[in-house]
Chains A and B, each alone.
Chain A
Amino acid sequence: MRYEAPTSTREAIALMSGAKGDAYLLAGGTDLLVRMRGEFIDPDLVVDIKRLPGIQEIRKTARGFSIGAGVPCAALGRHKPLLRAWPGVVEAAQLIGSDQIQGRCTIAGNLCNASPAADSVPALVAATAKAVIVGPGGRRRLAVEKIITGPGATSLGKGDIVSAIELPNRPPKSGDAYLRFIPRTEMDIAVCSAGVSLTLGPRNVVKQARVALGAVAPTVVLVPKAARAIVGTRLEDDALQRLAAACEAACSPIDDKRGTVEFRTEVAGVLARRAAVIAYERARKKR
């Protein structure tokens, strides 16, 4: 196996697009190395992106935040402006693994690994995050939900590299939150999860909302009907009930020892309700 750690993006793209055999990008390696060692994959080439220019930086831009694809999740929580603007995205990213894993794992890797249970993805989808993709065809920007096409499958082409994840600026009175269910308090994979992002208008009435669910379908699902259920409300009980019902209707989970279909479906609705309430409180407390 060849290992390369290019220092220019052009070189990285050339290595990946010119590769014969199986080539993989390496970010934090917390999925890739596990799959290599478990002999699920047998790479001929691994291209480490961590030495690419700017890949380890979180930048404030005119549009919002640009999080380099090499930034470990532990660094997200240390970035105060990001934490203030997008607490739900940061809390989702920081649920991944232990402190050891946090020091390595990235949200770009979490996205590109395309697990239906990836923790940061529902929060990113709710947040209207975009992936910046560089590749043989140049540079483009794509909504994160357009990257994942199925369990372990993405829409990325040969030589495409996600160079950063972008989060927009926040209007005033906005908040987000992410919750997952696991059978213990740490170090487990989500049985189901929910991310909610919302913005309040006059008199704290919900003006805009996005609700996304994890681990209840082959990919993360955006549930516009759940968002519509709370727009125009102050999260009164009946609004929350409609939100939960819309979430339940959007679930098509697997049935396994970690959670039955009924359990995952019901809990997804409960988590979405609770996440909505947390996001609402965060938004209300902001100016």
Chain B
Amino acid sequence: MKGIPVSTTVNGDDVEFVCDGRETLLDVLRNHLGLIGAKEGCGTGDCGACSVMLDGQLVCSCLVLGAEAEGREIETVEGMADGEKLHPLQQRFLEHAALQCGICTPGFLIAAKALLDHNSSPSESEIRYALAGNLCRCTGYDKIVRAVRAAAGDVRRQQKARARRKAAAQN
């Protein structure tokens, strides 16, 4: 079988790989690129454990072909922390014990980040709708929702601090 050469960007890094036409982006991330954050829970778009961002859009990487990544930008959970500094969502998931086995966690983190990136003051029902494509067998969801609410507060404070710094720089 002849492989398909693909050039793409993952978490800001240029990446090249060769994949089979049938392989999904999830297969490529895990098996070719060693990025095993995204998980395969179902392979049919139902569980969200494989969630990644593709050109700024939240998707299930199990329902994207690896070959479709050509020239696109992909973000995975591996790119969420800033060096050693965890993203507020990651920090709050730990503090609120929003994970047990952790299989669903990378998907929840990416989906929650997609929400907070365009809405940093979501209501509880907005959070629950935004995470409806992510399944968790362990936590019962409440702790996840609480962690996302807490992280939303952190994101709002970061935004305010940034705005203040900007205003100060202009004066």
The range of chain A's interface size is: 20 to 34
A34/B45 in contact, CB under 8 A: yes
CB distance from B69 to the nearest CB of A (A): 11
Q: Which residue of A lies closest to B64 (CB)?
A: A29
CB distance from B72 to the nearest CB of A (A): 10
Q: CB-defined interface of B61-95 with A at 8 Å, one 1/0 digit per residue?
A: 01111011010000000000000000000000000
**Known: A26-B65, A99-B130. Is A46-B45 also a contact (CB below 8 A)?**
no
Q: Which residue of B lies closest to A75 (CB)?
A: B57
The range of chain B's interface size is: 20 to 34
Contact of B45 among A2, A5, A26, A100 (CB under 8 A): A100
Query: Which A residues lie within 8 Å of B59 (CB)?
Result: 100, 103-104
Is A261 on the interface with B (CB-CB < 8 A)? no
**Known: A29-B65, A46-B21, A186-B129. Is A103-B54 also a contact (CB below 8 A)?**
yes
CA distance A38 to B22 in the complex (A): 12
CA distance A50 to B55 in the complex (A): 13
Query: Which B residues lie within 8 Å of A3 (CB)?
Result: 4, 21, 65, 67
Query: Which B residues lie within 8 Å of A187 (CB)?
Result: 46, 132-133
Is A155 on the interface with B (CB-CB < 8 A)? no
Q: Which of A97-146 contact B (CB under 8 A)?
A: 97-101, 103-104
CB distance from A43 to the nearest CB of B (A): 9
Query: Which B residues lie within 8 Å of A204 (CB)?
Result: none
Query: Which B residues lie within 8 Å of A62 (CB)?
Result: none
Q: Which residue of A lies closest to B20 (CB)?
A: A1
B57/A33 in contact, CB under 8 A: no
Is B43 on the interface with A (CB-CB < 8 A)? yes
Q: Which of A62-120 contact B (CB under 8 A)?
A: 72, 74, 97-101, 103-104
**What number of residue pairs across chains A and B have CB atoms under 8 A from each other?**
83
CA distance A36 to B21 in the complex (A): 12
CB distance from A44 to the nearest CB of B (A): 10
Contact of B63 among A34, A38, A72, A185 (CB under 8 A): A34
Q: Which of B84-120 contact A (CB under 8 A)?
A: 111, 114-115
Q: Which of A1-18 contact B (CB under 8 A)?
A: 1-3, 5
A103/B57 in contact, CB under 8 A: yes
A37/B44 in contact, CB under 8 A: yes
Q: Which residue of A lies closest to B57 (CB)?
A: A103
Is A48 on the interface with B (CB-CB < 8 A)? yes
CB distance from B54 to the nearest CB of A (A): 7
Q: Which of B43-61 contact A (CB under 8 A)?
A: 43-46, 48, 51, 54, 57-60
Write 17 A-B pairs (CB below 8 A) sorted by A numbering.
A1-B22, A3-B4, A5-B70, A33-B45, A34-B44, A50-B68, A72-B57, A97-B45, A98-B132, A99-B111, A99-B115, A99-B130, A99-B133, A100-B58, A100-B59, A103-B57, A186-B129
Q: Which 6 A-B pairs have the closest CB atoms?
A: A98-B133, A1-B21, A103-B57, A186-B132, A3-B21, A3-B67
